[in-house]
Structure 1
């Protein structure tokens, strides 16, 4: 380091105050520069311009070395699983399966599910019309998101609620960096779900014109065989609903805490689509995405060296004052809204189109069916540096 040169700001993603509310820390590191020190041999990218560009930069890889300290949790669970799933593979390696999964979660498919989503939301909201109580997690966000993704994958409905849901909820911790020790529930969930999907695939045969499971079997790597399909379907059991669920949760909290915006949505439910986008920007469901530098990458007045981990701080970029007017304020009609909450490029969120449709339908139904939505008790967070997750959001509601 050149004499007198000031080191970039540091942030600890695992510190309790950051896990609880990362945005004050984001403001500090973003003001200090485009890079912050984020962990062992790691950089965090703080500003929207750089994050948006690097999301599409092929000099960054999704494949990490086996001894990378950030991903020891995934290795403890199953190194093979972690290496097989699409997010940890580069585009040339994963294009076969990725094309099939994109097809299953395409914008067209998402739009065609809107009526099904609306019927499901209406069913789930009906009890609250009588009780005046609604837990936005257990009674709405999770069952909608999990039901829809399981139906799109083709998992049998009879076993989904009782057996797949609880395990998919625990599965997220299997794919989270920075975890200090193995999580037994995540291990057990991963083992059970792999066996469940493997048994389910016994009834399918490779068919490029069949359902999602048939199509994935048809393009599976011969060297990996069915195990490649198993692990990516297991990953879909989690990733296919996590973004939607967290967006509905953070949006519900935002509306309850911002009554003017709730009244605005009530007066014009057609704002539900832009509201969903704003909730993704304001409190990003996934706070960052990890990459590995393959080549020297200039960011600001520094160069990220090859072999360094690079964390693109989506939640930080979404509050960038140079891009978003009054970024710490909710504006459900915000236009334009170039947030990066769904990532970008070929590694962008697979379920983004579905999340947009589900969010628009859910918030439109909430606005039409309830006159008031207030917090009945303090929301309970699921502590995570990566996800903005909630265990419970007790709401008091009154019928419209």
Structure 2
């Protein structure tokens, strides 16, 4: 390790510059080469975690909570007025035990492997239906035409949201997620707040109707009926939970598909492997999650003085867990900056870990596998039509605005 690179400057470039957010991977490499696996930022209470083993340990350590959630660029406190359901302290993603334990246990009973496995025919049908709209020679935007409608339709069917309402949520969810970044502008926070309020109003009415008219074998009905020691979720808990699940299911899967397909089309040798052997698709989806994950970071907060990987952390320390950096850790992955769809070196960090491991991880994997199988079966000679535009306003999320592709059978 050398002092040739200023870690604070690298972290600032990574989180607060357009160039760094647009392509963080060279900066992650610099951190791996020059920074400790857990490093303090400019003498503050903030720390970065860049190593795979250390990220995994932090995510699973019960002495750490989910972390403070900063609200945008609000030097004058104006941002505090524009909280969304994502930043709501009562949301599952923002809770620590024992409140988190109770809510997660009740939800997990409804979000079982059986529920997800039962969605496979539906997921396949939805993917085929979307692809049926196009033919060889068409130029499409994968983000707008495929990767966004697929998860929205899947979770819409799981919750039995009317099909006519599915795509109402797509632009609202983009705005709401943008407001979750600590570096969001006031304008982004205002747009996120407006989108969040619109979706909250919809789901308050939607949940009330389902409670009055339950549907057998329906995820929302299962959530409403989920019980632990005679205790069920309160109505406001269900409203917030359903909205969070809807958005989480959309955002992760949509950008797993977009980022993964772009990586695949940018590496023709890896595309050829999938075309020749479709059984590689499950490992390819894991590699897409590792190589360019939709969620780049997680936050944790030290509840007490502690030591992790030889680093002393005081109570109140705020840790930025660099999931995407951990996924590129050369001590964990061979040649980590290379896409390798046959890679088999253990799971990526992309769905988090510990008690906050993503509830929808198995569903996202299912949708990703179905998408690539059906797309490559229909249009094996597809190609990139133009360079995509990337959303670079938010460090925490890795998303494409569009992905122009020419379909070819």
TM-score normalised by L of structure 2: 0.87
Task: Report Cα offsets for 1:324-381 as digits up to 9, x if no partner.
Answer: 0111111111113331111111101111000111111111112211222321111111
The corresponding residue for 1:316 is 325
Residues in 1 aligned to 2:330 and 2:390: alpha-carbon distance in whole angstroms: 27
What are the within-5 Å matches in structure 2 for residues 206-285 of structure 1? Answer: 211-217=218-224, 225-285=234-294
How many Å apart are 1:43 and its aligned residue?
0.9
- Structure 2's unaligned 5+ residue stretches are none
User: In terms of mean alpha carbon deviation, does 50-59 or 27-36 score higher?
Assistant: 27-36
User: In terms of mean alpha carbon deviation, does 102-111 or 5-14 score higher?
Assistant: 5-14
2:135 aligned with 1:113, yes or no?
no
Task: Report Cα offsets for 1:73-115 as digits up to 9, x if no partner.
Answer: 9743237861111010013202333234334443332222122
Alpha carbons 2:72, 2:179 under 8 Å: kept:
no
Residues in 2 aligned to 1:363 and 1:213: alpha-carbon distance in whole angstroms: 28
Which of the numbers 364, 374, 380 marks the counterpart of 2:373?
A: 364
Which of the numbers 124, 139, 144 marks the counterpart of 2:150?
A: 144
How many Å apart are 1:6 and its aligned residue?
11
Alpha carbons 2:295, 2:396 under 8 Å: kept:
yes
Question: CA separation of 1:46/1:88 partners in 2, compared to 1, >3 Å: closer, same or farther?
Answer: same
Residues in 2 aligned to 1:77 and 1:168: alpha-carbon distance in whole angstroms: 15
How many Å apart are 1:169 and its aligned residue?
2.8
The corresponding residue for 1:396 is 406
Matched positions, count: 394
The corresponding residue for 2:37 is 34
Question: CA separation of 1:121/1:204 partners in 2, compared to 1, >3 Å: closer, same or farther?
Answer: closer
The corresponding residue for 1:60 is 64
Question: CA separation of 1:100/1:136 partners in 2, compared to 1, >3 Å: closer, same or farther?
Answer: farther
Q: SS at 2:407's partner residue?
A: strand
Q: SS at 1:83's partner residue?
A: coil
The corresponding residue for 2:296 is 287
The corresponding residue for 2:185 is 180
Task: Report Cα offsets for 1:273-328 as digits up to 9, x if no partner.
Answer: 11100000001110010111112232444312111211111000000111101111
The corresponding residue for 1:94 is 100
Alpha carbons 1:97, 1:216 under 8 Å: kept:
no
Q: SS at 1:338's partner residue?
A: coil
User: In terms of mean alpha carbon deviation, does 134-143 or 365-374 score higher?
Assistant: 365-374
User: In terms of mean alpha carbon deviation, does 115-124 or 68-77 score higher?
Assistant: 68-77
Residues in 2 aligned to 1:65 and 1:351: alpha-carbon distance in whole angstroms: 22
Residues in 1 aligned to 2:191 and 2:360: alpha-carbon distance in whole angstroms: 25
The corresponding residue for 1:345 is 354
Which of the numbers 204, 207, 217 marks the counterpart of 1:201?
A: 207
The corresponding residue for 1:122 is 128
Residues in 2 aligned to 1:215 and 1:297: alpha-carbon distance in whole angstroms: 40
What are the within-5 Å matches in structure 2 for residues 16-27 of structure 1? Answer: 16-27=18-29
Residues in 2 aligned to 1:166 and 1:276: alpha-carbon distance in whole angstroms: 26
Question: CA separation of 1:105/1:395 partners in 2, compared to 1, >3 Å: closer, same or farther?
Answer: farther
Q: SS at 1:134's partner residue?
A: strand
Residues in 2 aligned to 1:304 and 1:352: alpha-carbon distance in whole angstroms: 30
